[in-house]
Amino acid sequence: MHTGSYIEGKWQHPKSERLVRNINPADTSDVLAEFPAATTADVERAIAAASAAFPGWRDTPGPERGRVLWRAADIARQRADEIARTLTREEGKIFKEAKGEVMKGISLLEFYAGEGFRMHGKTLPSEARDTFTYTIRRALGVVGLIAPWNFPWAIPVWKSAPALAAGNAVVFKPAELTPATAALMAEIYEQAGLPPGVFNMVVGSGSVVGEAMVAAKELRAISFTGSNEIGGALYVKAAMRGAKVTCEMGGKNAVIVMPDADLDKAAVAIHGGAFGSTGQRCTATSRVIAMPEIKAALVERLVAQAKKIKVGSGLEDGVDMGPAVDEKQWKTDLDYIDIGKREGARLVLGGGKPQHLDGGYFVEPTIFDEVTPAMRIFREEIFGPVLSVATAKSLDEALRFANAVDYGLTSSIFTENVDTIMRFVEGVETGMVHVNEPTIGGEAQLPFGGTKATGVGEREMAEEGLNFFTELKTVFINYSGKAERSMTR
């Protein structure tokens, strides 16, 4: 395993007194590696390397840039089990989920490989005679990417692949908790033939590496995924110096269950959305808003399914849910469970650490009933396996409850009524909407992102994800030799 930062095509070990210890959250005695923490000087070297490499990569034809990404997808497919095992050891999610994340990243590499052939603008009619007008998209330059720990393969891919396809050079900061998976991505880009300096990875803290990236005037854009607290401050600092910024932040996603819903189907979807990946994803289902006539039957189904969950190390056969990523997140989960109890919600399942497990940051699948919209467990992002169930008497009331939070990432409804579906789609305040399926999931060709406090800037993935890493140039070509354009326009 490479355990340094990757700068100008070389693995380097910063001269730092601090080490980033890479620990398995399912077994805290299992230390994967120790990465020397990068310094501000290392960030500056990475930016210098990217700046030097940018012109050559920008001038590489788009289809050839796409072929590099396609080769990366091919290599990643060959190394998929290796990537997934590393991801499970350092992040904690079960191997099956880790393998799914790896395949999602491969799908994104394939999609953006194709975008290298499709970078396009528009041809538009001019008001002037004998004038041809059109737009083209061009790379920004050197861009900064800051990724979270919960999807340490897929999110770095969905940021780096469009940036590279568009012709930018990259300085990338992975999360301190998950540098090993990120190191594999850097290896794969190198094996795919990416020129030295085009992709650079700097491992270190947000207070050092992140701050240096945000302040660096050479970085024309910053793409961030993480908490609202950090993302909000980052957005202000980077925007003040004129950089393009996109921030994907929190979520508090609701599923509305109507009286005509298929309750078995709804329970399966809610179960997967709430407890998959230990609830550690921004699209996780954290709230259920059910109509009173079916709520008891739905809760009964949810509890029955959650009781079957086997908690343990994600590398063990038969395990359904892994640990929280670290001690801080584990304590956050348990603190919110205590808050729910104090606020008067009824704990119907879970609420602590599984008794049979030692040495890891495990939390039981937890379900609260009789939750009200005023409660913190209904309004605040927990990022753990904690599901809150509330009651609404009508669709209008359910929409008010669903929208009564700061976030607006994703939502879902279960119903067979087309009128109800369309009212929900129009009325819910989220960037992504699901009908009769979980709140989770995304596809490479579809935009990903939310509204309100969930995010600012451009959507990620799809064509929109590539557009963020470009600037639009408008071209006027007069081919008659007569300048007839009105000077008032």
Q: Collect all residues with Cβ–Cβ distance below 8 Å to 42 and sequence separation of at least 6.
A: 5, 7, 12, 14, 202, 204, 209
Q: For residue 278, give the DSSP letter.
A: G
**Distance (Å, whole) CA 93 – CA 109:** 22
**Distance (Å, whole) CA 409 – CA 250:** 8
The two structure tokens encoding residue 79? 């190394």
Instruction: Name the catalytic one among 91, 101, 218, 248.
Output: 248
State the Cα angle at 232 between 231 and 237, rounded to 5°: 95
Instruction: Answer positive or negative: Cα dihedral of 390, 451, 325, 98.
Output: positive
**Distance (Å, whole) CA 232 – CA 213:** 15
Provide the 10 A C-beta neighbour count for residue 396. 11
Instruction: Name the catalytic one among 97, 187, 282, 381.
Output: 282
Question: Would residue 282 show up in a list of annotated catalytic residues for this protein?
Answer: yes
Question: Would residue 247 show up in a list of annotated catalytic residues for this protein?
Answer: no
Site of tokens 């753990």: 384
**Distance (Å, whole) CA 192 – CA 388:** 45
Answer whether 428's CB lies under 8 Å from 404's CB.
no
The two structure tokens encoding residue 96? 């099956």
Active site residues: 248, 282
